[in-house]
Copies of this chain bind each other. A is one copy, B any other.
């Protein structure tokens, strides 16, 4: 029937008629295309406003062959890491009047394939694949549109991945400890088979070696406070003058460790300095004392990945391989002995 349901009803033709011009002119006037007399442009604009004209993006997309939409596909579910990433992605996209279509793959390959097809059918201009997963994730393959992976890496070296530099982050932490006179360092992190555990360990060891420090312990376990507390026990047993600086693989571990140490009578940071990883506000603030930590700058990561994607959509080379962005150290009280 005529007006199906949510029709704004008013189209370029209505505006054209009111302004006394042709539809083509309306299009040009409203989009700043072509050569129009200023007076005409004005008149069209007024007509559009008067009629509360809502240009139909769907029609525009069809005509233009471009949707100004990008898909955001999460490999694992929406996690805590997804939020800052999304924020950054929206930052970049919003600036370019591009909208985000959300798809939560939930770590299910089938679901993911389904969503991928959907995004393609909807003719998105590009896709950003986010995900925090141990190690790499399967590439979505060669697509007719640019794809960028953020945080979680693609297993295809031809794809572009934007992520944080775990190794550098850990180095930052070590250098900070060393600068504050710490000499006997330990590393306490998550599961040994996680890529981030490994990369951070490499950074830790490299920096420790470079500074000529003693590495007393390299402990791997879980990404939990409980593990942090357990590790505190392990370290505390031989604490007297032994370990005086600990780099943790996450803020949760760091917090658990701090709690554990305090309860074992070890003072943080006087006796032992602790540095976390993630700069997760909740953990970092609630810890006693507040945690010095390595910030992977996830919002920035999101922004960067989206802007690379936009550039690629506009014809630039997308690039390939892993782009690792530097982390930043955020100094709070857990690491600086009076």
Contacts and interface: CB of A to CB of B under 8 A. Distances in A.
Interface of A: 4-8, 54-59, 61-62, 65-67, 69, 72, 77-80, 82-83, 86-87, 90, 97, 99-104, 117-118, 120-123, 125, 144-145, 224-226, 252, 256, 282, 285-286
A62 to B, nearest CB: 5
Contacts of A69: 101
12 contacts: A5-B65, A56-B62, A57-B123, A59-B62, A90-B104, A97-B118, A99-B101, A99-B103, A100-B102, A226-B285, A226-B286, A252-B282
A264 B101 CA distance: 50
Contacts of A99: 101-103, 118, 122
Contacts of A66: 4-5
Contacts of A117: 54
Given A104-B90, A286-B224, A67 B58 contact: yes
Interface of chain A, main secondary structure: mixed
A304 to B, nearest CB: 18
Contacts of A6: 65, 123, 125, 144-145
A11 to B, nearest CB: 12
A141 to B, nearest CB: 13
A30 to B, nearest CB: 12
Per assembly, the copies of the chain total 2
A84 B67 CA distance: 28
Contact of A58 (B54, B62, B118): B62
Given A99-B122, A122-B58, A86 B104 contact: yes
A5 B87 CA distance: 28
Nearest to A286: B225
Given A6-B123, A58-B58, A282-B282, 19 more contacts: A6-B144, A6-B145, A7-B65, A8-B120, A55-B121, A58-B122, A78-B86, A79-B83, A80-B83, A82-B83, A86-B102, A87-B104, A99-B102, A100-B103, A101-B101, A101-B102, A102-B102, A226-B286, A252-B286
A331 B69 CA distance: 44
B100 A65 contact: no
A145 to B, nearest CB: 5
A17 B41 CA distance: 44
Contacts of A54: 117, 120-121
A77 B72 contact: no
A74 to B, nearest CB: 10
A116 to B, nearest CB: 11
Contacts of A226: 285-286
A4 B4 CA distance: 31
B286 A4 contact: no
A78 B72 contact: no
Contacts of A97: 118
A87 B74 CA distance: 12
B121 A72 contact: no
Contacts of A56: 62, 121, 123
